[in-house]
Amino acid sequence: MFSGQPTAFFQPFIDTATGRIAGVEALGRLRQADGRHASVGPLFANPDTPTAELLQLDRTLRDDALRRFAGAPEDWFLSLNLSPRWISQLDDGVALPSLAQLQRSGIDPTRIVYEITEAAGDLPSLTQAVARYRELGIRIAIDDFGSGYSQLDRVLDLQPDILKLDMRLFQAAARGGPRGDAVKALAQMAEKTGCWLIAEGVETETELDFALECGARYVQGFLFAEATAELGASDSHQQRFAALRSRFVDGKLAQQTRLLELRQQLAEFVTRLRPWAEHGGPLSALPDPQAFPGLLRIYQCDRAGTQITPNLEWNGMFWRENRRYLNHNWSWRPYFYALLAEGWNERRLALSTVYRDATTNQYCLTASQFLESGQRLLLIDLDASQLPGFAK
């Protein structure tokens, strides 16, 4: 049997659109004899904890959270953790205890979010329960998305309203690298499926920046508030969040300014390069690209995306020719057809977004310029990590 008095603590969700508290997550604590509060997490993670005791503890904590949430501002929502294991143990057609509990509280169901806290449990039973929740306007979130193993099947079957990124994955992703790319892909998936994204575990300004980069609708974490027994004011963090968001936007504007400067430098370089590209000549006739320490290669493709010249690679001292990719077609790469569309006007130099090159595993930018009335495309690949302000 657990020791301590069960009580609900609340950690706020900050709305990235307003900086105000939009809701809170109820987190279980046990008040100890010395006044300290211990998390109930280890109890639920311990397979030796009796299921009946866990179920009783879970319901007691939710009762406490619902009772005290009744005093929260009317525009807040309450997020409650819900284990699919409890639903799997119910007989078909039995009333859901969670709905009876909510009805007793008198709280509008549209203010409730149930977080599916794990991948355990019977999916058909869970799908039926979720349908019943939705009939009342209750929203569904999948917690710890991206952790352990794929939960894509649950996303497709349950069609949640909210995805909460796994905290450890999110924090690692904020440091960059492949995990960063993976989390951004998850964020794009959330957007395309109509889900709001919650970034959980935001503890540093760097992590907040990454959450905003991913398009998170809400952020949650120690950067703003720990879980507490009391409900704070809606505008408790608004001023600080506004300052941090402004800093993020200023950084993005500075990055865009650098992109414009880079585009102008590349346009001038292409002007110098164009006579050689259109009329040919020895490699010694190519201009020295001292302004671009990250220049990787120059090559040309036809309108269909097939490479028609060797790669011309700058090694820091001189140009050399690499014929390995002659006749390879690059039209399948997303950045390539985006360049085609943007640069169709022969006078406009187009610049891709930063992408990870599958061949070299480098972060790259590609610039392109049409030649010969749009029949050929001159391409310049740059190592983004070597460009000021673009290091990953």
Query: Which band of pLDDT confidence, cut at 50, 70 and 90, is reported for residue 90?
Result: confident
Topology of the domain comprising 265-386: Beta-Lactamase (3.30.450)
Q: What is the pLDDT of residue 15?
A: 98
pLDDT of 189: 84
Bin 337: left if φ > 0, else alpha if -120 < ψ < 50, else beta: alpha
32-42: average pLDDT: 88
DSSP structure string for 162-215: EEEEPHHHHHHHTT-SHHHHHHHHHHHHHHHTT-EEEEE---SHHHHHHHHHTT
pLDDT of 120 over the 80 cut: no
Query: 291-311: per-residue pLDDT in tens?
Result: 787 888 999 999 889 999 999
The interaxial angle of helices 51-69 and 97-105, nearest 10 deg, is: 30
pLDDT at 334 over 80: no
Q: What is the mean pLDDT of residues 221-237?
A: 95
Highest mean pLDDT range out of 10-24, 29-43, 286-300? 10-24
Whether residue 154 has pLDDT greater than 90 = no
Q: Where, residue-wise, is CATH 3.30.450.20 in the chain? A: 265-386
Average pLDDT of the chain? 87
For the chain, give every residue range classified as CATH 3.20.20.450.
Answer: 5-236
d(CA 379, CA 367): 6
Checking if the pLDDT of 345 tops 60, the result is: no
Q: Which two tokens stand for residue 312?
A: 């011309």
For 284, other C-beta atoms within 10 Å of its C-beta total 7
User: How many C-beta atoms surround the C-beta of residue 214 within 10 A?
Assistant: 22
Calculate ∠ Cα 211-217-218, nearest 5°. Answer: 75
Give the total residue count for the chain: 392
CATH of 5-236, one of 3.40.50.980, 3.20.20.450, 3.30.450.20, 3.40.50.2300: 3.20.20.450
pLDDT at 310: 94
Radius of gyration from C-alpha coordinates of the chain: 27
> With bands split at pLDDT 50, 70 and 90, how would you rate the model's confidence at 355?
confident
| pLDDT tens profile 207-226 | 999 999 999 999 999 999 99
At residue 77, the pLDDT reads 98
Encode pLDDT of 241-258 as tens digits: 999 999 999 999 998 888
pTM as predicted: 0.85
